[in-house]
Every structure is written in C-alpha cells, then in structure tokens.
Structure 1
Amino acid sequence: MDQPLDPRIQTRQRRLRMLAAVAILATVAASAFGLNRLIRPAVSAQDVTIAVIQRGTLANTVSASGTVIPVHEEMVTSPVTTRVAKVVAKPGKEVAQGELLLQLDDKDIRLTIDGLHEQLAQQENKIAALTQELEQKRKQLVAAIELLQLDLKSAEARWQRFQKLRSSGAVSGEDLLTAELNVQRIQVQLRQQQEQIEDSKRSTRTSIDGALLQKSILQKQLAQQERQLASAQVRAPFAGVLTWLAEDEGATVNAGQVVARVSETSNFRVEATLSDFHAHSIAAGQAARIEHNGQTLTGKVQTVLPEIQNGTMKVLLALDQPHHPLLRNKLRVEAWIVTSGAAQTLVASAGPAFNGSGRQAVWVVGEGRAVKRELQIGASDGKNVEIASGATAGERLIVSDMSRYKDLDTLRVTQ
C-alpha cells in the first residue's frame, strides 16, 4: 500500500524542476542572443567616421579642379617665316628684361632693307631731278618773259609815235593799225608765258609730291623691316622665367608662330575647370577657396571665360595672396567657388555618405546601433554639408561609405 511522500522531498523536487526550467530559459536566451549577434551585422565605431550635427554657418560651394598660372605671361612670336639660327637660353631659366633668348635667321630681312635703301635713293634722286628741272623751266620762261616785256615796250613806243604822226598824215591808217595789233600780240604772248610758269610749277609739283609720297611709303616699309630685324633677336619682354622656347636650331618657324614664352615667377592666379551645369550660378566677384596639401588660400572669381568645350567651362580666380610661397606654375589645386550661404543652419562634416543634395538615406548612430534614416541634404562647402531636415542638433551620423550595407536598415555599432 502506497504511502504519502515526505513534504521535504516534494519541496526539493519542485526546486529542482524550477532550477531546471530557469537553466533551460537561460540557455535559450543565451543561444538567441548569440544567434542574433551572429545573424545581425555589426560595424566598429573605429572603422567608420562619425560626425555630430551642430549649428553653424555654411557656404554653398561648387567644386572645381584648378591649375596655378602666372598673372602675367607673354608670348614672343616670329616676325617673318624664317628658321632658328642660334639658341642662347634654356627653358626654366630665370631671365632679365631684354636678355637674348635666341637668334632667328635675318638674311632675307637684311636683303629687303638693302633693297628699300636703294629705292629710297632712287626716289630722292628723282625728287632732286624734278626740282632742278622745275628751276630750269622757270629760268627759261622768266628770260622769255623779259624779252617779251622789252618787245612790248618797243611796240608800245612805235604805236604811240604812229598815233602822233597820223594826225599830220605822215603815217597811214594801215600802219597805225599794224602797230596797235603788234602791241596786242606781244601782250598775249607775255600773258601766255606767265601762265606757262604757273602750269609748269603745278605739273612739276605734282610729280614731286608723288615722289615724296612714294618715299614716305618706302620709309615706313623700311621702319617695319628694321623692327623685324630687331625682332629677329628674340629677347625677354620682362624679367621672369623662360617657360618655353623653340630649341631646335635650323627648324623653320612661320610668321606669327610662338618661339618663346616668358612668365612671372611670383605672381599667380588659378585657372579653374568645372562642369557647365553650374554656368548659371557662377559670376565674377564670387568668393573662392583654393586648397593644396592641407593649406587654404582665399580669392574671388575674376573672369568667367565664355567658351564651353566638352561640357566644361573655365574661370580665372584672383588670389588674395598671389605671391604665397605655396604657389608655383602648373601646380594642381582644388578650388571651391562660393555661390550662396546660410547662417545658423544644421551642418555635419562632409563625407562619402553624402551624394550631392536632396533626400538620401544616412545612418544615424545611437545606443549601440545605427539606424538608416531619410535626411534632406542641402548645400555643401566641400568640408560640411547642410542637414535641411530629418535630424536634430546633437545627433550623430556615419559619414563614411556605407554602400555595402545598402540592403539593411539597422546595424550594431561596437566600440
């Protein structure tokens, strides 16, 4: 016959069952926790860049790639089609103003100058001959006029005597008329000779003026050839550095072809290249920032070049410190042009997580995990971006590249 169990034994059995249940629950919880850690991905806070949202001033900028160029650069061209006779300097050398760089062949120019000198001499001889001829004609006509004046006096005296004799009947009327006509004939001849002097002057003066005009043209041509002769000795237009030179002796160069280029050594600006998508927002006078190797220089847009090629445009940036020691010719820099600005707005450090402006998913960090959230991203100055909406000051964002987690919504963040 069964006997009831001792109450103490029953109590001990209940405790054992409870302990077993607790152990099972703990094991299940631990297993679930471990499985969760194995299944849900995590990212280490040391492997990503986390930025804190805070209030600040942000300038909206457009990025561009820039090249440092001299403010003053001058190209020297060949005055005529010729060849390089002798190279004196080397590219990269600092040159003084007027220093000889290279010598062009000037034989043809010298031959042209000699020919012009001969033509000038011919014109001068022609002018002298015309002047002498005019003087000879003048003397001949003056002598003829003097003789006619004597003939006129004689004819007038005869006519007057015949007038007196006619009253007494000693001279016929026919003789008196002949004497009168003779006076008139000599007067006509005398007037013709005087007019011939003026005609001769005008004719010879016209020929002389034509010769003088041709002489003036030849003198101008000679002056031009003498300038070309001087230009055949290519010299530095100002003190600077010789950045390029036609170095091949004997090489043919065409008229107007660049044979040397001289640049300033310590006065620079930046030529920036950017997408023509921003053409409507770029204007002269806008502030600019130039960066290289962690150093920053400031400036402004000086000129917006009108030409657009292959979807790109160029602007010239004037620097506030054009003589800064960082600058050197052809140095590649990053440029940022400020198109607008916002004060007391929410900003966060820029990073690969941001892709321009507009709504985009960004990882927000809090309580050991990161949650993907849609944020409205506004302007950017290259260093910071504007958080237009979707987050508040003090929240933290992962600004590193998180594209490998694009299919997830949450992540564990470990220390």
Structure 2
Amino acid sequence: MDRIIEKKTWTPKKIALIAGSTVLAVFLIYTVLFADHTSSLNVKNDRLTIGQVTSGNFQEFIAIDGNVEPLKTIYLDMVEGGRVEKLYTDDGRKINAGDTILKISNSTLQIDFLNRETQLFDLMNERQNSEITMKQDQIKALNALAEIDYTLKQVEDKYRRNKELYAEKVIAKAEYEQSEDEYKYLKRRKELAERSLKQDAELMQKRLRQLDQSINRMQANINIARSTLSNLYITAPISGQLSTLKAEVGESKTAGENIGQIDDLNGFKVKANIDEHYISKVYPGLKAEFDFNGQTYPVTVAKVFPEVQNGQFQVDMEFPEGKSPEGIRRGQTLQLRLHLSGGDKALLIPRGGFYQSTGGAWAFVVDKSGKFAEKRTIRLGRQNPQYYEVLEGLKQGDKVVVSSYDGYGDIQKLNLED
C-alpha cells in the first residue's frame, strides 16, 4: 500500500544553495568595502636598494675635477724674430734664472747695429773736426783783433798828439782831421772784430751742443740696438722647470711667437671647471677637499674667473700656506668636493636613482613589518653627491626604496619578497 510522502521545506540542497549565496554575498560586500584595491607588484629584496632616513649635519657640496698647476708660470715669447741657431737646454729640465735657453740669429738686426755704430763714429769725428776748425778760426780772429788793437793804439797816440799840436796851431787842420778819421776807423773795426769774435764763439758752442745732442741720441739708439741684439739670446727670467720648449735648430721664429714656458716649482695651485649653474654660489674663500694617498687635504678658492665658456667657469684654488701634499705633480687630476654651505642639522636620505623618476615628490616607504613598501608623498630640498635633504613626508628612522623606479609605472605598493 502506497504511503504519502510530505514535502520538506528545507532540503539539504536548498540549504547548501542559500549558504553558498550568503557566503558569496558577504565576500562581495567585503571586497567592495574593505579589501585592498591598490595596484601592487612583487619585487625581490635583492633587486632593491633601501636607504634609511637619518638626522645629521647637511653640507651642500658638489664634486668637481681639478688639475694641478704651478703657482706661477712664465711664458717665453720671441721679442725679435729670427732663425734658431743653437739650443742650450731641453724641455723638462730644471734651470736657474739667467740661464741661456737658445740663441737666435738675425742678420738684419746685426747689420743695423753696425750701421748705427758707424753713424756714431762719423758724428764723433764730425764734432771733433768742427771743434778743431772753430778753434782755428777763433785763433785767427783773435790774432786779427790783436793786430787791430796794436794799430789802434799807435793811431790813438798819433791822434792825441796831433790834437794838441793843432790846438797850438803847429800842424794843419787837414793833418789833424786825417789822424782823427784814421783813429775812428780803427776803433770801429775793433768793435766789429770783438762782436764777430763773440758771435763766432756763441755759434761754435751752439754747433757743438747740437752735435753732442746728436751723439747722445745716437748712443741711446745704439743702446737700444744692443739690447735688441741681446734679445737674440733667450734667457730664463726665473728659476724653475722648463716644461715646454717649442724650438728646433734651423727653425724660423717670428716676433711675439710663444716658444715655451717655465713653471715655478715653489708651489702648486688647482684649477677647476665648474658648471655655470653654481656661479652665484662660488666665491673666494670657499673650502674644498680631496683625497690623496689615503689622506684628506683642504684647498681654498682663491680666484673666480667670471667668464663662462661652454657652460662652465674656472676657479683657482690654493693650498693652506702654499704647502701642497708631498708627491703631488703638475698635470695631476684631483677629485674635489667643493662645499657650498657651512652645514646645518637636517633629515637626510641617501641619493639614489628614484629621484630621476619622482623628482623628489614621492617615494616608496617600507612598512615597519618589512613585507611591503607603499608610495608616499614627500618633499626634498638641497642635495649633495651623497644625500638629499628631507623637508616633508619622512621622519628619522624611515626606510625608503632609493633605487631606480623604472618599470614600476603606476604601481602603488611593492610586495617585498626574500
């Protein structure tokens, strides 16, 4: 006999379906409201460089290259042109002040010197002959004056006697007047002879002075020519090292041409090129330092050359008290750290490739668990070759991924894997 079966409201299948739907609904609600929707990327720890934010003394400095140069360099230029006749030394040798370096021959200068000497001798001979002639003429004039003076004395005596005789009516008037005319004539001749003698003496002195002046000028010209000839011998103005000599025997050189240089070995300086971006921050007195033979040595900016060429300007740096490190050599390249500020307390983060991607506006900051790093907005300030200055967004002890962010795109989170 058949039995009626009651239909059940809650069957196992129905219960399972309702339970499954409820779990799915709860999962969807949790996913929408509470789950992490940020984009993430799994990254191996060994592919990252992580730096820690520290507090320290921040010094803004830049790394530059400097070349060691002598403290003083003397350039050797040709004063007179000519042909190199003889070399007395080689470049690279040490020489003393006054040492002859090379000899130049110039036949034009030598002939000119000989011509000037000949002209001087001619002038001296002319003066001597002129003086002799003038003195001879003077003697003749004095003899003539003496003759006139003697005759005048006789005529004067005759005139005075005739004057007395004429007053006593002893001689005729004509005889008296003749003696008077003769006396006046000779007296006038004496006056003219004395004036002529005086004028000739003055002219003689004037002529001799002119010849003396010409001789002095010619002697000055000869001295100049002699010094010009001495320029044919190139000598060392200072003691030092003849670092460059650009001359060969038989080679022709022109006036003003540079033929070498002498380096003063009593001290060195450092010449460096700096990017024009820092020209407003660099001034005499700034400190720099470099490492050499395992030690750190200081230098000071002594001179700033404001001229900018190819985007750079030059500075000269000097060693303290002019004493350079033992073993340093001319032409050596030094890696310098030029301090642009005195230094102050700041939060510091090591430099890294992340700056090229973010411009210092954000960074991945490692969570305290060390399992992931999240993107965080930050603000960086000054920088030097080792650190960035932290202004906002980080605190001391924070760990930051400082390696390059290339390939991370819009990733918000890095999952760190061992």
- TM-score between the two structures when normalised by the length of structure 2: 0.77
Kindly state the Cα deviation for residue 179 of structure 1 after the two structures are TM-superposed: 4.1
Kindly state the Cα deviation for residue 39 of structure 1 after the two structures are TM-superposed: 6.7
Q: Does 1:226 align with 2:225?
A: no
* Residue-by-residue CA offset, 1:300-332 (whole Å, 9 max, x unaligned): 211112432233211111122642135322222
Kindly state the Cα deviation for residue 104 of structure 1 after the two structures are TM-superposed: 3.2
**Conservation of the 8 A alpha-carbon contact between 1:85 and 1:105:** yes
Cα distance between partner residues in 2 of 1:95 and 1:349? 52
> Corresponding residue for 1:163?
163
Cα distance between partner residues in 2 of 1:64 and 1:122? 68
Kindly state the Cα deviation for residue 359 of structure 1 after the two structures are TM-superposed: 4.7
> Corresponding residue for 1:273?
273
Stretch moving more, 405-414 or 300-309: 405-414
> Corresponding residue for 1:405?
408
Q: 1:111 to 1:273 in 2, by over 3 A?
A: same
> Corresponding residue for 2:253?
253
> Corresponding residue for 2:126?
126
**Conservation of the 8 A alpha-carbon contact between 1:53 and 1:347:** yes
Q: Does 1:205 align with 2:225?
A: no
Q: 1:156 to 1:389 in 2, by over 3 A?
A: farther
> Corresponding residue for 2:319?
319
**Conservation of the 8 A alpha-carbon contact between 1:126 and 1:211:** no
Cα distance between partner residues in 2 of 1:39 and 1:279? 44
Kindly state the Cα deviation for residue 68 of structure 1 after the two structures are TM-superposed: 1.7
> Counterparts in 2 of 1:36-185, with a 5 A limit?
40-44=41-45, 46-169=46-169, 170-172=171-173, 174-175=177-178, 177-185=180-188
Question: Secondary structure of 1:328's match?
Answer: coil
Q: Which amino acid aligns with 2:196?
A: Q
**Conservation of the 8 A alpha-carbon contact between 1:289 and 1:336:** yes
Q: 1:337 to 1:161 in 2, by over 3 A?
A: farther
Q: 1:221 to 1:298 in 2, by over 3 A?
A: same
Q: Which amino acid aligns with 1:317?
A: M
Q: Which amino acid aligns with 1:349?
A: P
**Conservation of the 8 A alpha-carbon contact between 1:130 and 1:208:** no
Q: 1:48 to 1:151 in 2, by over 3 A?
A: farther
Q: 1:401 to 1:271 in 2, by over 3 A?
A: farther
Kindly state the Cα deviation for residue 342 of structure 1 after the two structures are TM-superposed: 3.8
Considering only CA atoms, is the larger Rg found in Structure 1 or Structure 2?
A: 2
Q: Does 1:380 align with 2:383?
A: yes
Question: Secondary structure of 2:363's match?
Answer: strand
Q: For the aligned residues, what is the CA RMSD? A: 3.8
Cα distance between partner residues in 2 of 1:350 and 1:271? 28
**Conservation of the 8 A alpha-carbon contact between 1:358 and 1:376:** no
Task: Return the match for 2:191 from 171, 188, 192.
Answer: 188
**Conservation of the 8 A alpha-carbon contact between 1:149 and 1:190:** no
Q: Which amino acid aligns with 1:327?
A: I
Q: 1:405 to 1:270 in 2, by over 3 A?
A: farther
**Conservation of the 8 A alpha-carbon contact between 2:289 and 2:299:** yes
Q: Which amino acid aligns with 1:384?
A: Y
Q: 1:115 to 1:253 in 2, by over 3 A?
A: same
Question: Secondary structure of 1:80's match?
Answer: coil
Cα distance between partner residues in 2 of 1:278 and 1:180? 106
Q: Which amino acid aligns with 1:41?
A: N
Q: 1:140 to 1:177 in 2, by over 3 A?
A: closer
**Conservation of the 8 A alpha-carbon contact between 1:109 and 1:229:** no
Cα distance between partner residues in 1 of 2:268 and 2:302? 13
- TM-score between the two structures when normalised by the length of structure 1: 0.77
Question: Secondary structure of 2:188's match?
Answer: helix
Q: Percent identity, aligned pairs only?
A: 19
Cα distance between partner residues in 1 of 2:98 and 2:311? 42
Cα distance between partner residues in 2 of 1:366 and 1:336? 35
Kindly state the Cα deviation for residue 71 of structure 1 after the two structures are TM-superposed: 0.9
Q: Does 1:263 align with 2:263?
A: yes
Cα distance between partner residues in 2 of 1:131 and 1:339? 80
Cα distance between partner residues in 2 of 1:296 and 1:350? 23
> Counterparts in 2 of 1:355-370, with a 5 A limit?
359-367=360-368, 368=370, 369-370=372-373
Listed as ranges, the gaps of 5+ residues in structure 2 are 4-11, 28-36
> Corresponding residue for 2:344?
343
Kindly state the Cα deviation for residue 293 of structure 1 after the two structures are TM-superposed: 8.4
Question: Secondary structure of 2:378's match?
Answer: strand
Cα distance between partner residues in 1 of 2:214 and 2:112? 20
Kindly state the Cα deviation for residue 97 of structure 1 after the two structures are TM-superposed: 4.6
Kindly state the Cα deviation for residue 123 of structure 1 after the two structures are TM-superposed: 3.0
Kindly state the Cα deviation for residue 102 of structure 1 after the two structures are TM-superposed: 3.9
Question: Secondary structure of 2:342's match?
Answer: strand
Aligned length: 384
